[in-house]
Amino acid sequence: MPQLTANHLKDRLVKRLIIDRGIEVSDATNKDMYYALSYIVNDEIMPNWFKTNKSYGEKQAKQVYYLSMEFLIGRLLESNLLNCGMLDVAKEALEELGFHSEFVFAEERDAGLGNGGLGRLAACFLDSLASLHYPGHGYGIRYRYGLFEQRIIHGNQVELPDYWLKDSYPWETRKEEEAVVIQFHGKVHMFKRNDGSLEFKYENTDKVLAVPYDIPVVGYKNEVVNTLRLWSAEPVLEQNAEAMEENREFYRDLDHQHSIEQISGFLYPDDSNYEGKELRLKQQYFLVSSSIQNILKKFKKGHRLPVSRLSEKVVIQINDTHPSLAIPEMMRILMDEERLDWDTAWEVTTKVFAYTNHTTLSEALETWPQEMLQNLLPRIYMIIDEINERFCKSIWFNYEELRDKIPELAIIAHGRVHMARLAIVGSFSVNGVARIHTEILKKKEMRDFYSLFPEKFNNKTNGITHRRWLLQANPKLADVITEVIGPQWIKRPKQLISLLKYSNDKALLEKFNRVKHENKKALANYIHQHTGILVDDQSIFDVQIKRLHEYKRQLLNIFHVIYLYNELKENPNQDMTPHTFIFGAKAAPSYYVAKEVIKLINTVASIVNYDKDIQGKLKVIFLENYNVSLAEKIIPAADISEQISTASKEASGTGNMKMMMNGAITLGTMDGANIEIHDLVGDSNIFIFGLTADEVLHYYQNGGYNARDIYNTDDRVKRILDQLNQGEFGKHDIEFKDIFYNILYHNDPYFVLKDFEPYLETHELAERAYRDRLTWLNMSVTNIAYSGKFSSDQTIREYATDIWKIKQV
């Protein structure tokens, strides 16, 4: 792109406002400016999008398709400007026209088409694919309602619908001509062809139209624009008049139309939790059928190869088991439409699919009732049944030692279809998302599958795009880094390691200190505006932001806060560095315990924040509606990154990486990618505490831990639990009793009490380290230096070379 100046951009903005909106700059609102600027950015993107697609066609490159029920992309204007190389110029132009870029960017709806880490990972991967010149695209669903908007009312979470498409969304293009038909229900008829092969025909199916909306995925200053294709469900409008006649009653039935549109109606708000609703199953098949049809159509149009050679040009990554019906769907099309025989179709299919496992939590395991699947997708069920038969037979005949295990390996067992088993059997690669997680899969969770298919299993530790999470979210820090080590790190994030050379340079550490403090001031302002609470910007900003889950142990964190509060009440003059505990977390609407924890955090906040006795040494802030945009505000200001999951439970975590990259020190358990952070930075640059995964798994297997012993022997713990039981924090004396019971009567399944004391001690160490400013800053810079390893660019390179076998074009 030719050098665009702020003056030039100002002219274009002025013209755009007149042409598109019929107004002058002096009358324009932030929203008018947001649209004007977005359309200008689109003008830059579109020619490159066209060029990229054309060059992929010409080069006949192998493509990767990333299938995911979630893409948590957040806002796009600022990141598109950044990747187009226009961000600085745009900020300048906006300011000169009298606008604050921050307010203009904030006019965009945050696209919350995901729950948490899994969806955000998909978004980071797309950014890295495009930025590294890889031919890779995303397929997802264009939910009309994204993840609910969270409000906190009287301490309780209240969910509001997220109708993010209310205003027009400037980044999408509807591609009606590429719509495909998806079929549900109906009957399958089997015929014998003349050559003796079988033919399957479907009758009386319910047809749904899948209409794609394309969103450009802009590479960083490289003119590559890949595609995120989101499918929207609409009624099929029959063209021919007779059918119209027949269907008149049918389509007058608005109920039916509504039920079709419901398929892309909303995102299920459960994170790491299986929801066995039929509508969810419909959504899954809707995504995979439209995507696989589209992928095959493109393959046939783009290559003069038979579909039996699909794997030379196509690889499909399925993000968790949610899109695993893609495997039988591929089989269906290859056999019923492309007329391949079973063995050929199976060979093609198992060379095309790769599966990522995201969790070992039992409540997240997807299994569908056999009848539900059979009724909704009769042909797909037949194919799964056949895959299962053949798989079980092969164990029976080839692996005598596993014969007893067939019920635990079978894809269909006890009336349920096990999606992870289908995904493993039907793909050539199975990966976990951090080293420990992959080891647990191999040694425990998927042990027998590992013994059957050792060659399929591999690890790909998650990553985050340093472009959004450092360059864009923390431009001040990015500038200081560039000032010190030059700009090469932006293209090669591992070069952040050069910062180590300067990690004892006092003058330099002071610069890092200043940036962190400015970011803390900005967050303190935001907190004041949104909660009315004044926080001390010199206090330790201790941050836990992530979905609310028992295994993530926000409860442990708030217990620590209650402990500190109790201590301060007893001895208000004790020497303590002021702390600000910052929380952000959405709970699944039906997750009762999680909602109780949110209420507890807010209740503790409402007591602590207004208690004059403690002299402002403690503040507790719950920021409502945690999403990507809020993460971008909080992370640059974090001093301590709370990553305190019960060991073995957090597959990887990516929030840990984002905060590390912004100079926060991890205080966490040996779980997920925390372990790999620890490997890199060493004991002295991270605060590790608590049970290890082996210890946790050992307790689960052998018992040996009694929560009541701790309650009975540790006065601090007893005090807190009694405060909950006696309603000391509640408006009624029953409030928070359930948390008390959950711990003492269910024997503390997440080891909150067991890890309590080491957690306190580790916090004391952290506080002491924080007071030693140079040591702390050195730790902080050391963390930034090593964080390049967690750029999703690195992760994507590994997927590309080890799994996908695709080349940069």
Ligand X SMILES: *Cc1c(COP(=O)(O)O)cnc(C)c1O
Of 264, 273, 654, 783, the residue at the interface with ligand X (CB under 6 A) is: 654
Shortest distance, CB of residue 208 to ligand X, whole angstroms? 30
The dihedrals phi and psi of 319, each to the nearest 5 degrees, come to -85, 95
Nearest-CA neighbor of 585 among 572, 574, 596, 598? Answer: 598
Is the Cβ of residue 418 or residue 658 nearer to ligand X in the bound state? 658
174 Rama sector, left if φ>0, alpha if ψ -120 to 50, beta otherwise? beta
Shortest distance, CB of residue 116 to ligand X, whole angstroms? 4
Looking at 10-18, 308-316, 652-660, 684-692, which segment touches ligand X (CB under 6 A)? Answer: 652-660
167 Rama sector, left if φ>0, alpha if ψ -120 to 50, beta otherwise? beta
Can residue 146 be called a binding residue for ligand X (CB under 6 A)? no
Of 292, 631, 753, 803, the residue at the interface with ligand X (CB under 6 A) is: 631
Active-site entry in 120, 547, 599, 617: 547
- Work out the number of other CB atoms within 10 angstroms of the CB of residue 491: 13
Do 115 and 270 form a contact (C-beta atoms < 8 A)? yes
Of 426, 655, 663, 788, the residue at the interface with ligand X (CB under 6 A) is: 655
Is the Cβ of residue 285 or residue 469 nearer to ligand X in the bound state? 469
Shortest distance, CB of residue 781 to ligand X, whole angstroms? 22
Do 399 and 452 form a contact (C-beta atoms < 8 A)? yes
Do 218 and 232 form a contact (C-beta atoms < 8 A)? no
Can residue 778 be called a binding residue for ligand X (CB under 6 A)? no
Helix or strand (DSSP H, E) at 347: helix 342-352
β partners of residue 620: 581
In the residue annotation, 201 being an active-site residue is answered as: no
Shortest distance, CB of residue 73 to ligand X, whole angstroms? 11
Is the Cβ of residue 117 or residue 378 nearer to ligand X in the bound state? 117
Do 577 and 618 form a contact (C-beta atoms < 8 A)? no
Is the Cβ of residue 62 or residue 552 nearer to ligand X in the bound state? 552
Residues 6+ apart with CB under 8 A from 121: 319, 433, 462, 654, 792
Do 182 and 235 form a contact (C-beta atoms < 8 A)? no
Shortest distance, CB of residue 547 to ligand X, whole angstroms? 6
Residues 6+ apart with CB under 8 A from 781: 499, 500, 502, 503, 508, 509, 512, 663
d(CA 99, CA 105): 11
d(CA 604, CA 609): 8
Active-site entry in 520, 586, 658, 754: 658
In the residue annotation, 552 being an active-site residue is answered as: yes
Do 611 and 634 form a contact (C-beta atoms < 8 A)? no
Can residue 546 be called a binding residue for ligand X (CB under 6 A)? yes
Looking at 183-191, 212-220, 306-314, 620-628, which segment touches ligand X (CB under 6 A)? Answer: 620-628
- Work out the number of other CB atoms within 10 angstroms of the CB of residue 202: 15
Looking at 302-310, 416-424, 647-655, 720-728, which segment touches ligand X (CB under 6 A)? Answer: 647-655
Looking at 22-30, 241-249, 295-303, 621-629, which segment touches ligand X (CB under 6 A)? Answer: 621-629
Is the Cβ of residue 16 or residue 467 nearer to ligand X in the bound state? 467
Shortest distance, CB of residue 539 to ligand X, whole angstroms? 22
Can residue 117 be called a binding residue for ligand X (CB under 6 A)? yes
The dihedrals phi and psi of 413, each to the nearest 5 degrees, come to -150, 140
In the residue annotation, 658 being an active-site residue is answered as: yes
Active-site entry in 142, 546, 619, 754: 546
Q: Helices (H), strands (E): how many in the chain?
A: 33, 25
Is the Cβ of residue 664 or residue 803 nearer to ligand X in the bound state? 664
Q: Can you list the positions of beta strands (E) in 309-377?
A: 314-319, 353-356, 367-369
Can residue 120 be called a binding residue for ligand X (CB under 6 A)? yes
Active-site entry in 603, 654, 762, 782: 654
Looking at 40-48, 193-201, 202-210, 654-662, which segment touches ligand X (CB under 6 A)? Answer: 654-662
Shortest distance, CB of residue 437 to ligand X, whole angstroms? 12
Shortest distance, CB of residue 331 to ligand X, whole angstroms? 34
Is the Cβ of residue 672 or residue 788 nearer to ligand X in the bound state? 672
What's the 3-state SS for 234-303? Answer: EECCCCCHHHHHHHHHHHHCHHHHHHHHHHHCECCCCCCCCCCCHHHHHHHHHHHHHHHHHHHHHHHHHC
Of 628, 660, 743, 752, the residue at the interface with ligand X (CB under 6 A) is: 628
Shortest distance, CB of residue 478 to ligand X, whole angstroms? 18
Can residue 288 be called a binding residue for ligand X (CB under 6 A)? no
Looking at 27-35, 113-121, 164-172, 310-318, which segment touches ligand X (CB under 6 A)? Answer: 113-121
Q: For residue 581, which amino acid is it?
A: F
- Give the residue at shortest CB distance from ligand X: 655
Number of residues that bind ligand X (CB under 6 A): 13
Can residue 463 be called a binding residue for ligand X (CB under 6 A)? no
Angle at 150 between CA 149 and CA 152, to 5 degrees: 150
Active-site entry in 62, 322, 358, 553: 358
Of 227, 283, 319, 627, the residue at the interface with ligand X (CB under 6 A) is: 627
In the residue annotation, 358 being an active-site residue is answered as: yes
Shortest distance, CB of residue 472 to ligand X, whole angstroms? 13
Do 181 and 210 form a contact (C-beta atoms < 8 A)? yes
Nearest-CA neighbor of 452 among 477, 480, 424? Answer: 424
Residues 6+ apart with CB under 8 A from 511: 480, 483
Looking at 112-120, 406-414, 494-502, 532-540, which segment touches ligand X (CB under 6 A)? Answer: 112-120
Of 323, 378, 636, 653, the residue at the interface with ligand X (CB under 6 A) is: 653
Of 52, 62, 116, 326, the residue at the interface with ligand X (CB under 6 A) is: 116
Shortest distance, CB of residue 656 to ligand X, whole angstroms? 6
- Work out the number of other CB atoms within 10 angstroms of the CB of residue 571: 10
Q: For residue 163, which amino acid is it?
A: Y
State the catalytic residues.
358, 546-547, 552, 654, 658
Residues that bind ligand X (CB under 6 A): 116-117, 120, 546-547, 626-628, 631, 653-655, 658
